[in-house]
Amino acid sequence: MWPKEGEKIRHGALCVFIFLLTISILSLAEGRIGYDISVTVNDSNNSTSWSRGHFISAYEFNSESHCKGDGNSSKYIFIKGLDDVSLKENTHTKEGRLKEDSLLSAGSSINFVSIEEAVSDNAERYNVKINESMPSYLMSVEETMYRGEGLHKRNIFQNHDDKMMTSYHAKKFSESSAFAARYRNALIMADVVPSGVDEFAGENHSSMLRFVSESDIYSGFKFKSPDRDIEEDYVGSFKISKKVASEHSFQFAEDDIGGMLDCCPATYPGLDYSLRAAWSCLLHSMLNDSSLAVK
């Protein structure tokens, strides 16, 4: 909104973050690998279609940021393309004092893709077995403190069909959060006939969100998955401490845990102590916690 004639304009520090990282296999065609299957079988009475696809590129991304000052701020972060692993953050603050330290790390690697297909002589039956190992990970550690005229903050963390969300509105606000998501490998089998599809999808992926927050106006948390739906709303001044973990596990005959551990960075010597401690705790939990250990 433009100021009215004669209205005084209040000057102050303006801290604006516009961070956009959209990775849908990037633009490097030579680094893109994967598969795309689409089949239709039919007879005189019925017709059935089935499809499956997965593409990824090998890459690594790391970001460390620090912000401290007085004024207004706006931050938008969007990371996707890690085989349905994504993060979205949208934060706006009005006039006030803000201190924020954050770390983002994401990456993917390619081990193998094996596809075995069979079609009946009369083309009325299609069988496929897909054994894939294209692991990816996403980790985020953030500490935020704010005092001022108003903050609105929303985070969405997603790993396949599991979605974790936090939202806040506050004039006095603090939060320490750590999120980790990992996709490891999958075994997909499908038997397609004119009358329908018999499909098995065994996937190894896990997510964990830990946060401690304090907000004086509104705090919200949601967790959505195919078999769970949790929604919490807190109006007023609340302190919240929460840990949420979700794991989808399927045991493979081959174990490539070593390759997955290699993809995750272990240290960030430039971080201050609190971020290093959160990062260390997050890695320890993701790699050694028995409830989330990669099988």
State the pLDDT confidence band at 291, using cuts at 50, 70 and 90.
Answer: very low
pLDDT score recorded for residue 254: 43
Angle (CA) 229-105-156 rounded to 5° is 25
- For the entire predicted model, the pTM comes to 0.73
Question: Distance (Å, rounded) from C-alpha 126 to C-alpha 48?
Answer: 10
Six-digit token string for 264: 């995750």
The answer to whether residues 146 and 173 touch, using CB atoms and an 8 Å cutoff, is yes
Which whole number is the average pLDDT over 144-153?
Answer: 96
Burial class (CB in 10 A: 0-12, 13-18, 19+), 287: middle
- Tokens for 73, please give them: 């701020």
Neighbours of 192 (CB within 10 A): 21
Between residues 250 and 168, the one the model is more confident about: 168
Confidence of residue 278 (pLDDT cuts 50, 70, 90): low
With a CB cutoff of 8 Å and minimum separation 6, the contacts of 82 are 23, 56, 106, 108, 136, 137, 138, 183
**Helix and strand element counts for the chain (H, E):** 2, 13
Whether the pLDDT of residue 69 is over 90: the answer is yes
198-223 pLDDT, tens digit per residue, is: 999 888 888 899 999 999 999 999 99
Return d(Cα 93, Cα 111) in angstroms, integer: 43
Minimum mean pLDDT range among 28-42, 71-85, 157-171 = 28-42
- Is residue 234 very low, low, confident or very high in pLDDT (cuts 50, 70, 90)? very high
Q: Give 234 or 248, the one with higher predicted confidence.
A: 234
Q: Locate the DSSP E strands across 109-237.
A: 112-119, 126-133, 136-159, 162-193, 196-215, 218-225, 228-235
- In this structure, which amino acid lies at residue 285? S
Residue 259 has pLDDT above 50, yes or no: no
Q: Which of the two residues, 58 and 159, has the higher pLDDT score?
A: 159
Q: Would the pLDDT of 13 be above 70? A: no
Instruction: Return the pLDDT at 15.
Output: 38
Q: What is the pLDDT of residues 75-97, one digit of tens each?
A: 999 987 677 788 999 999 999 99
Of the listed ranges 123-137, 236-250, 279-293, the least confidently predicted one is 279-293
Q: Which CA distances in Å does 105 have to 57, 141, 265?
A: 16, 9, 8
Q: Residue 282: helix, strand or coil by DSSP?
A: helix
- What's the CA gap between 295 and 292, in Å, rounded? 9
Average pLDDT, the chain: 77
Which pLDDT band, with edges at 50, 70 and 90, does 20 fall under? very low
pLDDT of residue 21: 33
Could you give the C-alpha distances from 7 to 95, 111, 135, in angstroms and in order?
A: 18, 63, 56
Pairing of strands 112-119, 162-193: unpaired
Given this model, what pLDDT does residue 293 score?
Answer: 31
C-alpha distances (whole Å) from 94 to each of 15, 146, 191 are 11, 10, 56
Model confidence band, residue 17 (pLDDT cutoffs 50, 70, 90): very low
Do residues 22 and 78 touch, judged by C-beta distance below 8 A? yes
Average of pLDDT values for 234-257? 77
- Structure-model confidence comparison of residues 79 and 32, the more confident one: 79
Residue 111 has pLDDT above 90, yes or no: no
- Band (pLDDT 50/70/90 cuts) for residue 31 is low
pLDDT of residue 129: 94
Radius of gyration of the chain (CA): 23
285's enclosing H/E stretch is helix 273-288
* pLDDT for res 212: 92
DSSP one-letter code for 263: T
Residue range 20-40: mean pLDDT, rounded: 58
What is the pLDDT, as a whole number, of residue 64?
Answer: 86
> CA–CA separation, 201 vs 130, rounded Å?
9
What single letter denotes the amino acid at residue 45? N
Q: In which residue are the tokens 């689409």 written?
A: 38
